Structure 1
Amino acid sequence: MAKRITTLYIADTDINLLVMKGKQVETWTSLALEPGLVSQGFIAEQALVAEKVRQVFKEAGVQPKDVIVALSGHDSLYRIITLPDVPEAVLPEAVRREAKRTIPTPLEEVYFSYQSVPAMKGERRVFLATFPRSPVDALVGTLRQANVKPYVMDLAPLAICRIPDVPRAIIVNTRLDHLEVMIIADRLPEVIRRLSLPGEVESLAEKLPLVAEEFNRTVLFYNSSHMDKPLDSTVPVFVCGDLAEAPETWQTLIGDRDYSVSPLPSPIEAPEGFNSNQFMINIGLALKELPAEKEEANFSLVDFNALPEAYLPEHFSMVRVLIPVGIVIGIGLIIVAVLLGANARTQIEKVRSEVTVVEDRVSQLQSDITALTSQTGSLQATANTLNNTIAALQLERAEMHEDLRVIHRKAGTMAKVTVGAITHSGSSVRVNGVASDEDAVFAYARELRESGRFSMVWIPSIRESQGAFSFAFDLTK
């Protein structure tokens, strides 16, 4: 039996609810919002929006439980980071450290989610997304007031990137107040650019020059860093939002580039009257719960739950079920014992002395158990401390291994440089070596600096001796 999937997206201008049964649209509804209730993805009036959300579910006749929701993605950042091949137990801390190093926003002000993606042997690649805390807290607070129970959250741009069944694509989503340009390569959203549009610009014709400029800038940015595999004419351009309904604007969008442009295709079955272009984000949310029908599918690989751990629904607990059952059984046993005691009082008197002996033994065993329990707590604390220490050492070893790999690999590409002693002290590294000429020393320093592994490369000394140049580098992480 096909699974029923309920999706909800609260945009600045409207609320969209879509319910699917498998890949078939079952019901849908949309409700416009007054200006100011939601601004750039932040719900400013939670009580009023919560009332609108209740109205949407009531009109659709849908129960507000097990709902997949989307966050607008405003002020969100996306990165594909490369790490040493650290153990799974160390990965969360490694990602947190790398996010702290590469994300300009303090981690205390954002939530972040990540997912491992295919990588070369010996390293680990992670897709990382960070998003501000305040819009998430406001969204969850609004849904709670509306008695809506979300269990999965996604970012709107990632939901859109999940729709095309192709490994490479450019997607342009244009709405009243913003536009997004997304580049998918090898089934991964490698570039996601979101730009707010001026409030005084109302028509698509007025927005179009800005949209075309941002499209061209994004493509140039990507191609400049992927010269081995640029976005050529074989890469399709998909449009959604306002652009999808205005084919006459597509040529202006791409300019003199030889791209094929078409509306973003919907992979679901929809009844007559359903405007898939309006519900693209909801469709992308639903695809999180719909398995691909064929192994050769090329949908986006990124599919994590961005709902912060604090807001995840509590899992079913067998203990919570067994406790009241146990209480009922215990009460029943007590009643039985009382009845039996009334009918066998004389037998109890005969064995009372034996019960006293057993009670003494039980008391002694309880004392022994208490002593063992206190020892177990101490041992557990020690074990936790050791596990944390081992995890930190493993991470430091992996970081050191990656540093040494980069240092030797960069030197290996230069025939005139030989690396000697290396002193690694956590956040700083001293590299000693010999080069055939001074230019090779500076070229090697430049290679290390451009590797992205070290924030600073300092050359404290270069000495010439018998036609060779000995050097020392101080590298800072």
Structure 2
Amino acid sequence: MPLPPGLVKDGMILRPKVVGTVISSLFKSTGIPRKHVITSLTGLSFIRRIVNLPRMEQTSLTEALQRAARKEMLLPPEDLYICGQAISRGASEVSYFVVGVPRKPIDVLVQTLAEANIKPYLVDLNPLALARAASQEEAIIVNLEPDYFDIVLVADGIPAIMHTITPRGNGATLEDNIHLLSDELVKTVEFYNNNHPQNPLSATTSLLVTGELSANTTTGHLISAEVGHPVETLMPPLTIPHDLPAASFTTNLGLAMKKLPLKAASNGKTSHFRDININILAGKFGAKTLGLKLPHVILSLLIISGLGFLLPVSQILHQAKAETLRLQTALTGVNQKIDQRELSATEAKQIEDSIGKIKADAEKIRQGYQYILNKNSDFARNMTLVTNALPSGTFFTLVEIGQNEINVEGQTDNSFTVVSYVIALEALKEYSEVRIVSINEVSSTKDTDKDKANPGVSFKIAISLAEQKA
């Protein structure tokens, strides 16, 4: 069941009480138990790393992962929920797949579940659920939903690259968005191959498609023509009721498989897939193990996943109750639109003022940049490098280039964009060190507007120049 627009955005539940009420009504109308609910949030940002640690007792592992995260993830560990899973063990050390997830979206999710009288059980990441549903040792997985495209590259049995892109709107055709997706897939494969020259992805690696938009037969042909990898439909290794549209619920089935023993991949090939079966709530509440009977888990488990819910097929047949709930949800959406329109006039003026200031600042920076280009080739080269790596939607407020260090200050949408900028600068291999000095939230013009999205962050980055060779 879809939620009205404006309740969830970019992995953040904006109105926990409203969403909790809708979820509670759903449980009540269907009679499904509120125990052992497995959840995930669509569009949730996260950082993943492979960390090597010496062998140690389990009691010391949590603190060790926190220390490793402080070194590897750039963002402060106190802003993240950290959880990890061992993926290989050597004689003296163990490799861990470590994930850092921002605390705020998870805290709000737990609050939302509490509004629905649901005690948190397990929280997973959508890309990990998709990888689990595929259970392939090597694959490119694409989940095509109307509002987002998930991309997961699995290599050597583990998810190596995971990210989400937003399709174009405002009249864009399916062909337009498939072209956008194909460009991103090509970049993803090139990035992986450039970083793994000894073990690149094979040209015959399957591209597994799923999601609501994958039902269009044109989709697979368009992707195959632009990317080159053989395109197949993702089929989870489960016995699925024939009347369940599996492509629309692949993420949900992957979540359900968290409590099932993994089976062989549906293509019949031997797979060395290593399931990253983490619980983000372990970072919030500590590791817990709750008993759950596995038989009939698909038919008894309700999975809440971002913008939609997977219901047992037998419950979906209750048309009268579903229609009543649909009308209640529509009413909630109307009330949300009324609230938004009351704020639109003031917000429009603020946006116009902000755009004017940004344009004026950008023009000053452009003029200064052009002047520098004409004055000094070394200066110009460094300025070109830090500018070309700048993510979309990010702008400078200050750039200082000295003999030994470059100091960059600017503003962008969120802290993960800052991290992406740092990673892009490091990938240039031109600087001895790139580090984040500070990240601060930009103050909102309306402190009392609790439902307004975060207006962004300001940042400072220090770049140490490599020593010149004699």
Q: TM-score, normalised on structure 2?
A: 0.57
Structure 2 counterparts to residues 180-259 of structure 1, below 5 A: 180-200=150-170, 203-255=173-225, 257-259=227-229
| Residue 281 of structure 2: aligned partner | 307
**1:300 Cα deviation after fit:** 3.6
| Residue 85 of structure 2: aligned partner | 115
| Residue 165 of structure 1: aligned partner | 135
Conservation of the 8 A alpha-carbon contact between 2:80 and 2:102: yes
CA deviations on 1:362-410 (whole Å, 9 max, x unpaired) are: xxxxxxxxxxxxxxxxxxxxxxxxxxxxxxxxxxxxxxxxxxxxxxxxx
Q: Matched residues in 2 for 1:315 and 1:84: separation? A: 25
**1:87 Cα deviation after fit:** 5.2
**1:127 Cα deviation after fit:** 0.4
| Residue 265 of structure 1: aligned partner | 235
**1:109 Cα deviation after fit:** 1.8
Conservation of the 8 A alpha-carbon contact between 1:80 and 1:190: no
**1:238 Cα deviation after fit:** 0.3
Conservation of the 8 A alpha-carbon contact between 1:127 and 1:302: yes
Structure 2 counterparts to residues 47-446 of structure 1, below 5 A: 47-86=17-56, 88-200=58-170, 203-255=173-225, 257-293=227-263, 298-311=272-285
**1:120 Cα deviation after fit:** 4.4
**1:248 Cα deviation after fit:** 1.9
**1:205 Cα deviation after fit:** 2.7
Change (3 A) 1:298 1:57: farther
Conservation of the 8 A alpha-carbon contact between 1:154 and 1:306: yes
CA deviations on 1:340-380 (whole Å, 9 max, x unpaired) are: xxxxxxxxxxxxxxxxxxxxxxxxxxxxxxxxxxxxxxxxx
Conservation of the 8 A alpha-carbon contact between 1:160 and 1:281: yes
| Residue 3 of structure 1: aligned partner | none
Conservation of the 8 A alpha-carbon contact between 1:79 and 1:190: no
Conservation of the 8 A alpha-carbon contact between 2:179 and 2:226: no
**1:138 Cα deviation after fit:** 1.1
Conservation of the 8 A alpha-carbon contact between 1:151 and 1:312: no
Conservation of the 8 A alpha-carbon contact between 1:119 and 1:125: yes
Change (3 A) 1:302 1:315: closer
Change (3 A) 1:271 1:114: same
What amino acid is the match of 1:160? L
Change (3 A) 1:65 1:247: same
**1:91 Cα deviation after fit:** 3.1
| Residue 46 of structure 1: aligned partner | 16
What amino acid is the match of 1:114? G
Change (3 A) 1:119 1:223: farther
CA deviations on 1:289-313 (whole Å, 9 max, x unpaired) are: 1113569654442112111454479
The number of residues matched between the two structures is 297
CA deviations on 1:41-81 (whole Å, 9 max, x unpaired) are: 21111121112112222333211112111133522112222
Secondary structure of the 2:136 match is: coil
| Residue 426 of structure 1: aligned partner | none
Secondary structure of the 2:37 match is: strand
Instruction: Tell which deviates more after alignment, 58-67 or 288-297.
Output: 288-297
Conservation of the 8 A alpha-carbon contact between 2:182 and 2:227: no
Secondary structure of the 1:248 match is: helix
Q: CA RMSD in A?
A: 3.2
**1:154 Cα deviation after fit:** 0.7
**1:131 Cα deviation after fit:** 1.2
Change (3 A) 1:86 1:121: same
What amino acid is the match of 2:210? C
What amino acid is the match of 1:189? P
**1:93 Cα deviation after fit:** 2.6
Conservation of the 8 A alpha-carbon contact between 2:186 and 2:227: no
Q: TM-score, normalised on structure 1?
A: 0.56
Q: Matched residues in 2 for 1:456 and 1:99: separation? A: 22
Larger Rg: 1
Unaligned runs of 5+ in 2: 291-428, 434-462
What amino acid is the match of 1:238? L
Unaligned runs of 5+ in 1: 1-30, 317-445, 463-477
Conservation of the 8 A alpha-carbon contact between 1:81 and 1:128: yes
Change (3 A) 1:119 1:224: farther
**1:151 Cα deviation after fit:** 1.2
Higher RCO (CA-CA < 8 Å; seq separation 6+): 2
**1:252 Cα deviation after fit:** 3.2
Instruction: Tell which deviates more after alignment, 265-274 or 243-252.
Output: 243-252
What amino acid is the match of 1:226? H
Secondary structure of the 1:47 match is: helix
Conservation of the 8 A alpha-carbon contact between 2:146 and 2:213: no
**1:268 Cα deviation after fit:** 2.0
**1:288 Cα deviation after fit:** 0.8
Q: Matched residues in 2 for 1:458 and 1:212: separation? A: 36
Q: Matched residues in 2 for 1:306 and 1:314: separation? A: 11
**1:104 Cα deviation after fit:** 2.9
Conservation of the 8 A alpha-carbon contact between 1:46 and 1:138: yes
